[in-house]
Amino acid sequence: MKDINSTKEQDKMAEQIYRAYLNGEKIPNISLINQGITSEEAYQIQKKYLAMRLDSDAICGFKAGLCTSGAQKKLDYTEPLSGILYASGNYRERSVPMYPSGRMIIETEIGLVMGRDISAHIESVAEMKEAIDNVMPAIEFPDHNFADIEHFTALDLISCNVIASGCMEGIKVPAVEYDLNNIKVSLYYENEVIDSGIGSNTWKNDQWESARWLVNSIIDHGYVIKKGSFLLTGALGSMVTARKGSYRADYGKLGIIEFDIV
Hey, where are the domains in the chain? 58-261
Give Cα 210 to chain centroid, integer Å. 12
Note the pLDDT of residue 34: 87
CATH code given to domain 58-261: 3.90.850.10
Indicate the residue type of 245: G
Q: Which residue blocks in 65-171 are alpha helix, DSSP H?
A: 69-74, 125-131, 154-159
How many CB atoms are located within 10 Å of the residue 142 CB?
A: 25
Segment 127-153 mean pLDDT:
97
User: Taking residues 1-22, what's their average pLDDT?
Assistant: 85
Confidence band of 6 (pLDDT split at 50, 70, 90): confident
Q: What is the mean pLDDT of residues 246-252?
A: 98
Q: Residue 64 has what pLDDT? A: 98
The predicted pLDDT at position 1 comes to 44
pTM metric for this prediction: 0.95
pLDDT tens digits for range 52-72: 999 999 999 999 999 999 999
pLDDT for residue 104: 98
Neighbours of 36 (CB within 10 A): 11
